[in-house]
Amino acid sequence: MPVKNAGFSLTEMLIAMAICGVLMLGAVRLLPQLQGQNLQLLAQLRLEEELQQMMMTLEKAVRRAGYCNGQCSGDGLQIAANGQCLLIKWDENSNGRWEESTHAESEFYGYRWRNDSIEMQRGVTSCDSSGWERLNDPRLVTVSQFQALRDNRTIKLKLSGYAQAFPAHSVALEQWVNGINL
């Protein structure tokens, strides 16, 4: 029984190679676009996560503001610098008083917007002091706005920013926080 050992003809091989070449050319053109969209999506996700984290930190601080397990004098929350700085006091160790700013375990906290970043410092009584620490990395995320507005016991926090890699896509967050201890 003879077995036919015929393969592809030269014409069939050339047609198959041409089709593969066209498909590869399409894939090579599509891949950079997919990678660019993937990078943009990751930067947007990082931006949203970082802004959400900063907003949650600010919300938590506002909710704690004014707490005192005794007799504390003064206001537990001050908004300064046209709403771009929060100065907060709360009785962290529940000893019935707010430890002063000079104390090693001060219960005075500050949050401010400066140089496209949100900064935080413990033991602060003024928004103009030095030694503040950034809550975000300005090489990755730029905070373009921070504002706190007070209406009696309710504090409105606004926070917006953009990823350095894609400045055209910004994210804005707004949160109303009830300052139950104010």
Angstrom distance (rounded) from CA 101 to CA 124: 6
Per-residue exposure over 27-61, b if at least 16 CB sit within 10 Å of its own CB, e if not: eeeeeeeeeeeeeeeebbeebeebbeebbeebbeb
Residue 168, CA atoms < 13 Å, CB-side half-sphere:
2
Q: What is the pLDDT of residues 67-123, one digit of tens each?
A: 999 888 889 999 999 999 999 999 999 999 999 989 999 999 999 999 999 999 999
Q: What is the pLDDT of residues 22-40, one digit of tens each?
A: 888 888 888 888 898 998 8
Q: What is the pLDDT of residues 124-166, one digit of tens each?
A: 999 999 999 999 999 999 999 999 999 989 999 999 999 998 9
Per-residue exposure over 65-77, b if at least 16 CB sit within 10 Å of its own CB, e if not: bbbbeeebeeebb
Contact (Cβ atoms closer than 8 angstroms) between residue 109 and residue 122? yes
Angstrom distance (rounded) from CA 11 to CA 101: 86
Q: What is the pLDDT of residues 162-182, one digit of tens each?
A: 999 899 999 999 999 998 888
* Spans of all domains in the chain: 40-178
